[in-house]
Chains A and B, each alone.
Chain A
Amino acid sequence: MGEFKPVIVGFLCRWCASAAADLAGTSRLQYPATIRPIRVNCSSMVDPAYILRALLEGADGVLVGACHPGDCHYVDGNLKERRRIAVIKNTLGKLGLQPERVRFEYISTSEGLKFAKVAEEFTRQIRKLGPNPLRGGFDD
């Protein structure tokens, strides 16, 4: 077996976390190429189904990047999503998946450095957890 290369799906709000990822790139901050980003309009459109699907498909982690409280472009979408994430994590535990595989972060437009740090830290955490047990799919 080769080295474990985690796959992390990153749902990034276009108003903050996605722009922070842009800034991290523009600033040439280096972080592991583990996060595979999907830009969304608001973190609050991230249906729990997307997170579950990512895990069922074998993703080793899921990151949801939202605006800081009070800064949401859509009033309070970030807070709605935070509540959903809390529920999802709880459910994951009951399904036998580590809730630590899902991470919710507030990352503002100007926090390119935070984005890079989160990517690095989360990757380290996922490496510690090891590959998603569902990787490779279910055997029939």
Chain B
Amino acid sequence: MGYGVFICHCGQNIAGTIDIEKLVRKVSGIRGVTHVEDYIFMCSDPGQERIKKAIKEKNLEGIVVAACSPSLHEETFRKAAESVGLNPYLVEIANIREWSAWPHQAEPEEATMKAFKIIESTVEKLNGDKPLEPLRLEVVRRVMVIGGGIAGIQAALDVAEAGIEVILVERSPSIGGRMAQLSETFPTLDCPQCILTPKMTSVAHHPLVKLLAYSEVEEVSGSAGNFKVKVRRKPTYVDWNKCVGCGLCMEACPVELPSEFEMGLAHRKAIYIQFPQAVPNKAVIDSENCIRMKYGRGCGLCAQKCPANAITFEDNGKAEEYDVGAIIVATGLEVMDKANFAEYGAGELKDVLTGLEFERMLAPSGPTGGKVVRPSDGRVPKEVVFIQCVGSRDPENWNPYCSKICCMYTAKQALLYKHAVPGGQAYIFYIDIRADGKGYEEFIHRAMAEEGVIYLRGRVGRVYQEGDKLRVEGVDTISGLKIVIDADMVVLATAAVPSSGVEELAKKLRIQLGEGGWLKEAHLKLRPLETLTSGVFIAGAAQYPKDITDTVSQASGAAAKAVAFLSKGYVVREPLIAVVNEDICSGCGNCEEACSYQAIKVVDGKANVDESLCEGCGSCTAACPSGAVQLKNYDKRQIIKMVESIVG
């Protein structure tokens, strides 16, 4: 009978500061405590055995373990107690290590007093605790993947191959993402169209994948295993059931706009298919720029040419709701705009390109058909300077982090340029060369030794127009010499940054962003594919810049996590949620207003908690004027008692 308190020495970590003997004496005097025991390591097997033995022999009704933070061993001690028949919710942790022994090493007496107060108030809490059973909630066996780049495609394919339905949401008219924009991929020099397009087709045609292109996540509610996601299907003004992707509409359209896919190096029309290999291969109307849409009449040339009568000009946008058990976020990256960099022409110099723009120029299907030419005059550049770390590894001005992919793609671009322009010279300004993947170091070596790319270690201070050349002024920190190159073209490896809009999406999903706006993982080393919100996983460069190899590995990992999460068929949730005492509930509805999850609602004059939605924050309990809503094992009397004992 009564409660047991088990005080851990944690070697010298606790016992080095806290007077254990005195603490045991004081704790023995707490009302209701019938057993007190101290031991060098409570979490060790012999320590746990002591706890189990005492629970059995003394028939303890509940225990407090005074040790380290509950984030470390709460589960350990709960399991130990459960194994001898004590309900795990009658196990409380008093954190006397992180909260007392460690931060008050110079004040042992005060630390001992504080440890006692923490234990005393925890016993008060235990006094009001009731045995509880974890909630088991059925899961919806369906996964939503947000983002249709290579990460999202791979994750969707893996989940579908495991026999689970997938909803793949992509905000652009086509899937494919950044990878679809690349010329060739390092270190193998595969053409992305050759290796990506088959995957795009497989995912779009997979019987278990529903592809929602040109759509965005609008609202997310519910929780792990039972999310409800509202998706906005953006209006295409074209009936996709009829559109065959022939492209005649694009030929007819008189409006020319810079193409996003071609990074502004070519035009697209106001009605367009994102790129030739687009999946789905369907046209959309850019309503802000279409003459007919803007003025409500006139033009209509595209509709006249369309052999399928697919162009309706009608707003066919709509909202759809999907029930899913898990969500994989694969929103990827973009690169910084060159206009940010005044020292490199602030985007005004036509022959200064970003790496991604140059990538389009190198692509055989790109705006120049794979020919390297200067945007200013169409001449073939004889000397090209590549500048790495533009906006990366620059904590004073821009991002402190390394964008990770630039060393490799710059080497690749320099090499491809040398192939495209025999006799041309490529220079690369770098800080350090980071080539830490399979075959990467060899690739850099090939660029240097076999292709004759000249590497210069140092930063470039300034790029400016000098006649029809771009004068590049830099320093080679190895020779210590100032370097001036009159180049025909300059390519900036601008920093990778998270995709626009990820901040709003993270808010909707209740997941966190870390430094630089990258999605925050549950643990950088040990849980890199999960977020702190159960049931939401991360794939690809949304977490941090990654090359295709790493992105695909992580996407498969996230898919495996999501599949494992749903495979049991249910999720176990902590039962520490709100409960209503209907006898005293007046139905005022304050709780309803305080709840951020729509988990508590007044029905027939009484508040009612939806157990599948309640997250257990306790916000409603503070809003309830009569104490009718309480949090299980955290009710108001318990906390008041805790306050009284901790102050007293």
Contacts and interface: CB of A to CB of B under 8 A. Distances in A.
Do A and B belong to a common assembly?
yes
Interface of A: 5, 7, 9, 19, 21-26, 28-33, 36-42, 44-50, 53-54, 57-59, 70-71, 73-77, 80-81, 84, 116
Interface in B479-534: 507, 510, 512, 532
A84 B590 CA distance: 14
B117 interface: yes
Contact of A47 (B71, B105, B510, B636): B636
Contact of B639 (A19, A30, A48, A50): A50
Interface size class for chain B? 35 or more
B105 A38 contact: no
A22 B584 CA distance: 39
A45 B643 contact: no
A37 B634 contact: no
A75 to B, nearest CB: 4
B619 A80 contact: yes
Given A40-B618, A71-B512, 9 more contacts: A22-B69, A22-B99, A25-B100, A33-B107, A36-B117, A44-B618, A59-B643, A74-B597, A77-B619
A63 B615 CA distance: 24
A21 B594 CA distance: 27
B644 A45 contact: no
A125 B596 CA distance: 35
B621 A25 contact: no
Interface of B: 69-71, 95, 97-107, 110-111, 113-114, 117-118, 121, 507, 510, 512, 532, 576, 594, 596-597, 615-619, 621-622, 631, 634, 636, 639-640, 642-644, 646-648
A47 B98 contact: no
Given A19-B71, A45-B619, A45-B631, A25 B103 contact: yes
B115 to A, nearest CB: 9
- Chain A contact residues: over half helix, strand or loop, or mixed? mixed
Contact of A24 (B103, B106, B507, B646): B103
Contacts of B98: 21-26
Contacts of B594: 44, 80
B392 to A, nearest CB: 23
A24 B316 CA distance: 55
A116 B104 CA distance: 11
Contacts of A24: 98, 103
For the complex of A and B, the 7 pairs showing the least CB-CB separation, nearest first, are A45-B618, A25-B98, A74-B617, A33-B110, A75-B596, A44-B619, A25-B102
B71 A22 contact: yes
B643 A57 contact: yes
- Among B105, B616, B622, B631, the most chain A Cβ lie within 10 Å of the Cβ of B622
